[in-house]
Structure 1
Amino acid sequence: MSHTSIEPLGDDALLVRFGDTIDAATNQRVHALADHLRRHAPAWLCDLVPAYASLGVFFDAERVPGGDARQALARMLAGMTEQEESPALAAPALHEIPVCYGGDFGQDLAAAARELGLAEAELIARHCAPVYSVAMIGFAPGFPYLLGLDPALALPRLATPRAKVPAGSVAIGGAQTGIYPRASPGGWRLLGRTPLRLFDARRAAPSLVQPGDRVRFVPIDAQAFSALGGAA
């Protein structure tokens, strides 16, 4: 695999770097390698943690052939075909996320629309238009960083972060959009809120969405939000 580097991340982990930019092509290479490693499932592999432009590879040192994890990983990278490096991702999971926009559900929607020179309805429509890619999970358990935001909707973070952002808040931070899985501090612009629980440790798969999945936002009203189990 071209243009990569491997560096130590700890006694039991390595970091594969693909670059230092946030873009879909680089992120696809991250997920292509993760998919390659999962499919081949070497005995030493313990876990994979995708990020925007890097992949954390956690290993069991006692099961690495020859005891050199870096060399073993390098061999697996070298064994990837060109097709595996840039695959047409096969039927990734698509999640339709219902969102109630504006008002008490999205406290920054009106100000964001004014700043962007858009009507609120147009901002909502443009935010719902893309099918987003889950680039990575981070910040908090289950928080999806989504690629695919219309560049015209990019907004700077708040100068002073809120002490508490409601769980389920859908927000824009810079050129990214994401969903706060639980109540927490945060400085992204709040557009709306979903009644879905993004993270639940009691579920077999605690995180509702996974890296590499797709997400589409669907606008709903307050009545539908309540009917789906949301608490205003």
Structure 2
Amino acid sequence: MEFQAIWQFSSERTLVLFLDGKISLDKQKLCWSLAEYLKENPIVVETVVGMNALTLYLDISTIKSAKCLNTQREILQALTDEFVANFNPVSNTQSSGKHVKIPVIYGGEFGMDLTDSAKRLGMSVIELVERHSAPIYTVYFIGFQAGFPYLGGLPDELHLPRHTKPRTNVPAGSVGIGGAQTGIYPFSSPGGWQLLGRTQLPLFDKANTPPTLLQAGDTLQFVVQDILE
């Protein structure tokens, strides 16, 4: 794969993987697979995958000096370099999760920013809804809230800035855009994303196993139930 993957310390026991270039699904597949590969290393206690990012938590109990710690980083870097050189995103299986359709009511009280967002983007409300609901999105990782999916696949022409002053309460199920991301709020919370609509489909239920509707590697598509003025 034609990009660099460099490990750097963020603390004495955590390494963060830096990937150059734009966010992509191929890089996300690399992070998923590399996390599975490196967690078998005895020095790695935990792996945490983010948006085209990977963090390793290390067991440093037997490391006696900064030099020894850097040697471990160099070993992990060498393993990573070899892994990246041989990685084939087409054969990666983590991205073959389930597909979920998310019913959404766009606009009105459910999508308070839909009209303004369409104006900002220079398109009609109908066109914005059509473009937002057309792609198949991939769940890159779950974060921020339990069940909150960070999605890859938002078209470049739909990128929108976050509100400079976040709302104190965004209703559960709200579907919005923040920067280059689109996502769904599983719970009511403060938030600064541009709200386009809302779904009644619960994203988190502690009675289920797993409790989150979506997991990394799943795909989803927004299904238009209605468009309100």
Which bracket does the TM-score occupy, shorter chain normalised? Answer: 0.7 to 0.9
The aligned residue for residue 228 of structure 1 is: none
Q: Does structure 2 conserve the Cα–Cα contact (< 8 Å) formed by 1:18 and 1:30?
A: no
Match of 1:84 among 58, 82, 87: 87
Q: Give the ranges of 4+ consecutive aligned residues of structure 1 lying more than 6 Å apart after TM superposition.
A: none
Partner residue, 1:57: 56
3-state DSSP class of the match of 1:80? helix
Structure 1 unmatched ranges of 5 or more: 223-232
1:147-199 deviation line (CA, Å, top 9, x unaligned): 11121212222232111001111101122111112111111110111112223
Determine the structure 1 residue equivalent to 2:105. Answer: 100
Distance in 2, matches of 1:184 and 1:213, equals 24
Q: Which amino acid aligns with 1:218?
A: V
2:71 is the alignment partner of 1:36:
no
Contact map agreement 1:172 1:188 (CA 8 A) in 2 = yes
On the 8 A contact 2:137/2:219 being kept in 1, the answer is yes
CA positional deviation for 1:118: 2.4
Name stretches of at least 5 consecutive residues in structure 2 with no aligned partner: none
After the TM superposition, which of the residue ranges 145-154 and 197-206 deviates more from structure 2?
Answer: 197-206
**Counterpart secondary structure, 1:172:** strand
Output the amino acid matched with 1:70: R
**Identity rate, percent:** 39
Greater alpha carbon shift after TM alignment, 125-134 vs 8-17: 8-17
- What displacement does 1:89 show? 3.3
Give the aligned CA root-mean-square deviation in angstroms: 3.0
Once residues 57 and 206 of structure 2 are traced to their aligned partners in structure 1, the CA distance between those partners, rounded to angstroms, is: 22
TM-score, normalization by structure 2: 0.79
Q: Cα 1:43–1:97, aligned 2, differ >3 Å: closer, same or farther?
A: farther
Could you tell me how far apart the structure 2 residues matched to 1:25 and 1:84 are? 10
1:140 paired to 2:145: yes
For residue 83 of structure 1, report the CA deviation from its aligned partner: 4.5
- What amino acid sits opposite 1:121 in the alignment? I
Correspondent of 1:177 among 182, 192, 210 = 182
- The total of aligned residue pairs comes to 219
Change (3 A) 1:88 1:220: farther
Is the Cα–Cα contact under 8 Å of residues 16 and 55 in structure 2 kept in the other structure? yes
The correspondence of residues 194-213 of structure 1 with structure 2, limited to 5 A, is: 194-213=199-218
Amino acid paired to 1:179: I
Please report the TM-score for the alignment, with normalisation by the length of structure 1: 0.78
Q: 1:156 to 1:202 in 2, by over 3 A?
A: same
Identify the residue that residue 193 of structure 2 maps to in structure 1.
188
